[in-house]
Structure 1
Amino acid sequence: MSLRLNATVLVAALTLLGCGGADETDPSVYDDPGNADLLIESTLPEADALVARNQKVTITFHHPVIVDTLVVELAGQAVELATLDDREFRFVPFPLHDPDTAYQVLIAKGVEDVTGQILDRDVSWTFDTETAAVEQDSAPPLTEAEIGLILSGDGDTVMDLVTDFTNLDSTLYDISPPIDVTSEHLPLFVDRMMTSVVHHGGIGLAAPQVGINRRLFVARVDGTWQTYVNPAVTSWNAAVDQMVEGCLSVPGDQVNVARPTWIDVSYTRPDGSPIVGEHHENTSATVFPARLWLHEFDHLNGILLIDRMGNPPTAAP
């Protein structure tokens, strides 16, 4: 079965983010829709849409469905879905979708809702992903705006947090490009990030949270503050644990999130030295470093913890 559920949470948050509440689906966008319009209210992304590589797939039904009957495939592979209220289901990509690629979404026939309607055939549609703005190993120069923000104070000056998570055009929802580890502005930026995370009472802070879309975050791992430049998750455990998380950019919200119990990572230190294959594992003694790492890493891909509300126990990082 490709759908597993662990929690029911309010649909309002996803609608607030623009991921739900779309107009009723026109069945003509599907291949051979059959009775799809009687069951499916809306789907995102829309058919033939050109989307970002972190685009979530969201399916909303008119009525609650019997979840054991729902099977969804993306590019021919069954995917694990998060649920909001037994009507709305979501898939958050990890890793990111490939650039410049056509993806087919398929809802397998046989899904049944509580009114007794049964989807009488497979329903599918296709969306396309944008070309990558920059290659993962390419670090474009800092923009004038980014430099200006970094230079707006000294190392002891706190940076303002981006907390308008309802604004889909904010830095919170962009995929961040790498940062040049040799940049003359990097030391000051790191100092200001450290000052800011301590001031705001966090244990981790990613560059997009202070208005700069670059692949960098700071975190207190194993009791020590660390800086991670251009990080990557190279492997992870299939087993997961669940825990309530908070976020400085989503003040007041506490969300139950399932994440792998261990990860292997690579990154660069601010002095330019590369780190490969570093292992992080969640234990009570180490304050769940893998979870913290993945939370901050999500920020670099434009994903917030509220995007992961209701995600299943087998969700990927």
Structure 2
Amino acid sequence: MILPITLYGDPVLRKVTPEIDKDYPELQSLIGNMFETMYNAEGVGLAAPQVGLNIRLFVVDATILADEDPQLKDFKKALINPQIVERTGELESMEEGCLSVPGIREDVTRPGHIRIQYYDEEWNFHDETYDGFAARVIQHEYDHLDGVMFVDHCSPLRKRFLKAKLANITKGKVKASYQVRPPRR
């Protein structure tokens, strides 16, 4: 089932998410719905707060980009209760966008290498390292779990330029090719 994507300005996008346990209701169904929603919106990642849920979960799938980056060949996963335990490497700048902030893309600087621990949908524990685009996608989605949006990484000057666009999004005045839910107050 395709879920509506929560727009910038909704309080759920600014909350630090709590961990969940194995008994979280209908977790497998939720993960499937999140993947379906992400594909429908042509995204490569989607965090639970983006579908209105304050839980520590996100999904990623960048396998479509494997021709450009072979590391992405098997880069489809659900990450439950993730914790980034290390961020290293040179800082790298790249343009990012967000399904919750349609129509805005900005350069964001992030460390090029991460180590993350998480549980998959079968509750198997993983301790993995990523670099390049995979590390970027994980950090972007992970930020959502801590109430951080990609526009928060922009300079104060860029934020001033974006102020009117962001204000329109918070009012639901935005066009998207996928189903969105205006911010709740």
TM-score, normalised on structure 2? Answer: 0.75
What is residue 218 of structure 1 aligned with on the other side? 59
Correspondence for 1:279 among 86, 105, 129: 129
Letter aligned with residue 26 of structure 2: H
Letter aligned with residue 267 of structure 1: Y
What is residue 149 of structure 2 aligned with on the other side? 304
Pair 1:295-2:146 in alignment? no
- Cα distance, 1:166 vs structure 2: 3.0
Q: Distance in 1 between matches of 2:31 and 2:4?
A: 14
Counting matched residue pairs gives 146
Q: Say which structure is richer in helix.
A: 2
Q: Distance in 2 between matches of 1:166 and 1:192?
A: 23
What is residue 142 of structure 1 aligned with on the other side? none
Secondary structure of 2:19's aligned partner: coil
- Cα distance, 1:212 vs structure 2: 0.2
Match runs of 1:58-77 below 5 Å: none
Letter aligned with residue 116 of structure 2: V
Among the aligned pairs, what percent are the same residue? 32
Pair 1:174-2:24 in alignment? no
What is residue 62 of structure 1 aligned with on the other side? none
Please give the per-residue CA displacement for 1:152-197, whole angstroms capped at 9, x wherever unaligned.
xxxxx1000001x234xx2111111112133341111101101100
Letter aligned with residue 240 of structure 1: L
What is residue 114 of structure 2 aligned with on the other side? 263
Max radius of gyration: which structure? 1
Secondary structure of 2:85's aligned partner: strand
Gaps of at least 5 residues in structure 2 are: 63-71, 157-185
What is residue 230 of structure 1 aligned with on the other side? 81
Letter aligned with residue 131 of structure 2: E
Q: Distance in 2 between matches of 1:257 and 1:267?
A: 24
Match runs of 1:10-49 below 5 Å: none
Correspondence for 2:95 among 234, 237, 244: 244
Secondary structure of 1:205's aligned partner: strand
CA contact (8 A) 1:204 1:218 kept: yes
Secondary structure of 1:237's aligned partner: strand
**Moved >4 Å (runs of 4+):** none
Gaps of at least 5 residues in structure 1 are: 1-156, 283-287, 312-317
Pair 1:159-2:3 in alignment? yes
User: Residues 183 and 201 (structure 1 numbering): CA distance in 2 closer, same or farther, change over 3 Å?
Assistant: same
What is residue 207 of structure 1 aligned with on the other side? 48
Q: Distance in 2 between matches of 1:263 and 1:239?
A: 11
Secondary structure of 2:6's aligned partner: coil
Please give the per-residue CA displacement for 1:62-118, whole angstroms capped at 9, x wherever unaligned.
xxxxxxxxxxxxxxxxxxxxxxxxxxxxxxxxxxxxxxxxxxxxxxxxxxxxxxxxx
